[in-house]
A = this chain, B = another copy of it.
Amino acid sequence: MEDPRANSPAGADLHLDLGGTRGRSDLVHALHESIRTGRLPAGTRLPSSRSLAKDLGIARNTVADAYGQLVAEGWLTARQGSGTVVADRILPVHRPTTPIPGAPHSANPAARAGAPHPTDPTARAFASSSGISLLEARKFRYDLTPGSPDVSTFPRSEWLAAARKALPAAPNDAFGYGDPRRRIELRENLADYLARARGVWADPDRILICSGYVQALNLLTDVLRLQGAQTMSVEEFGYNLHWDVIRSRGLQPTPVPVDEHGVRSDLLEGQAALLTPAHQMPLGVPLAPDRRTKAVEWARESGAILIEDDYDGEFRYDRQPVGALQALDPDRVVYTGTASKSLAPGLRLAWMVLPEHLMEPVLEVKRTTDLLTATLDQLILAEFIASGHYDRHVRRTRQHYRRRRDHLVELLAVRAPGVTVAGISAGLHVLVDVPGDAAELVARAKRQGLLIASLDRYAFTPDPAARQALIVGYGTPPDHSYNGALDLLCQILAV
């Protein structure tokens, strides 16, 4: 049988691959495909339902129904007298490739591999989130930029085991809407864990589970603006993404100097402050005791809110862990924690411990932002904590990162005596002060296939002439590429 051409006679044969079954939906689908792929150009006259039914050996009503639906959807037009015709469709400028059901999908191989393809808008969108473009990152053999744990350490089998316990045991309402603060199972286990491991004044009723730390910051900033805030103090070194979040909610971030004792809390201003007290990102210093007290006093006296970003509180090596600032005044300090460093960024699970007066306003904003945070991973994480897997995983990875850090520090001492390493006692990155021009070293590293960032990149007010240092994220690479990355780093710093 031949395919019909435009203006073919009404009785023309119509070849349709109906596959196995020949129901209405199969016919509709076959027609969809033929029209989409251009096999049936606009203006093509279709055979009458009677003759097509006869050809295909199916009921006439089935064909009539199918035609009816396609007319309803605008694919066909039924003109009085002239029968059923493929409709004229103003085609979109860019005609999307349409997947052929069953057959492997025709997406570009790059996208298939998870990499953006040339015209991929996501590269730019993602760029400033980590300071590094996804597209850029994929060009390099080695990646020592900070901000990500070694994702190859995610405990897949323990996680599945927790899922096998948690999902069957969950009440039906766990799969529904429910409490906007989200699952009580997780809030209770987190309250225990945070009090025990981080010295947080935690109460399950004060905990809100949200979709990652960025959302926590977004919601808090939105609420503060609604309550009249205009500026938020931020540490002069940190993530552009976080400052962009603050700006996106209409607040002005104001940089406050950071020295070897942490942020200058005597210089805080505005109606709120975003701090990393346990481990300044990226300088790596803890906030000194008197500065902690000063920050809380400032908040009390000015009525401001402190947001404590405890992004990697779990990872302490040589020194005693510094507990949460929030414990000094749970009514002035919002504690925020995340599973992104301790487990995986892909989980997008974070938690806030809120002052009572902020819970309702934050829930109101959350409601129109994404209503609720997904529950299944919450049930699994609750089980993961309760069963002790979480503590074991943190201990295990802490040793993993400690070994990496030791290896890095020893290697630099031997092979790059000209540099000074700082901020080594905690976290997943160190600060490496270099004698030369940091930007020049970064460029050279990139030329040789190593992606690395200079301190300047994390400065609120970039100043190429300022402190010359690199941020080395030793947590980021998988094991198989860590040694190669260090070797290349040493070569570059040795010069």
Which residues from chain A sit less than 8 Å from chain B, CB to CB? Answer: 24-25, 28-29, 32, 36, 65, 68-69, 71-75, 89-90, 92-94, 96-99, 101-102, 105, 107-108, 111-114, 116-117, 120-122, 124-126, 128-130, 134, 148, 151-152, 154, 156-157, 159-160, 163-164, 167-168, 171-181, 183-184, 187-188, 191-192, 195-196, 199, 201-206, 210-212, 214-215, 218, 241, 244-245, 248, 289, 292-293, 296, 300, 320-323, 327-331, 344-349, 355-356, 359-360, 363-377, 478
Contact = CB atoms under 8 A, between A and B. Distances in A.
A160 B151 contact: no
Given A151-B176, A346-B376, A370 B368 contact: no
**Secondary structure of the A side of the interface?**
helix
B364 A125 contact: yes
B99 A367 contact: no
Contacts of A72: 289, 292, 322
Contacts of A101: 192, 195-196
Given A89-B328, A152-B172, A369-B369, 11 more contacts: A73-B327, A102-B192, A108-B205, A112-B188, A121-B363, A159-B167, A160-B163, A160-B167, A175-B347, A244-B368, A348-B375
A114 B178 contact: yes
Contact of A68 (B74, B156, B320, B363): B320
A183 B115 CA distance: 11
So how many copies of this chain end up in the complex? Answer: 2
A65 B322 CA distance: 11
A280 to B, nearest CB: 15
A205 B28 CA distance: 25
Contact of A178 (B134, B154, B175, B195): B134
Contact of A345 (B152, B175, B202, B369): B175
B121 A359 contact: yes
B370 A348 contact: yes
A153 to B, nearest CB: 9
B373 A211 contact: yes
B179 A114 contact: yes
A57 to B, nearest CB: 20
Nearest to A203: B96
Contacts of A148: 176-177
A181 B90 CA distance: 28
B205 A345 contact: no
Contacts of A99: 188, 191-192, 195, 202-204
A367 B129 contact: yes
Most buried by B among A101, A113, A244, A370: A370
Contacts of A478: 172
Nearest to A356: B94
Given A367-B129, A370-B218, A107 B206 contact: no
A211 B163 CA distance: 21
Contacts of A167: 156, 159-160
Most buried by B among A99, A111, A114, A171: A99
A177 B124 contact: no
Contacts of A176: 148, 151, 344-346
Contacts of A172: 151-152, 154, 478
A98 to B, nearest CB: 6
Contacts of A120: 205
Nearest to A360: B121
A75 B99 CA distance: 63
Nearest to A94: B356
13 contacts: A69-B323, A72-B322, A74-B289, A92-B355, A101-B192, A108-B205, A111-B184, A116-B179, A134-B177, A151-B175, A156-B168, A346-B374, A349-B374
Contact of A125 (B187, B367, B375): B367
Given A112-B184, A174-B346, A125 B328 contact: no
A121 B359 CA distance: 7
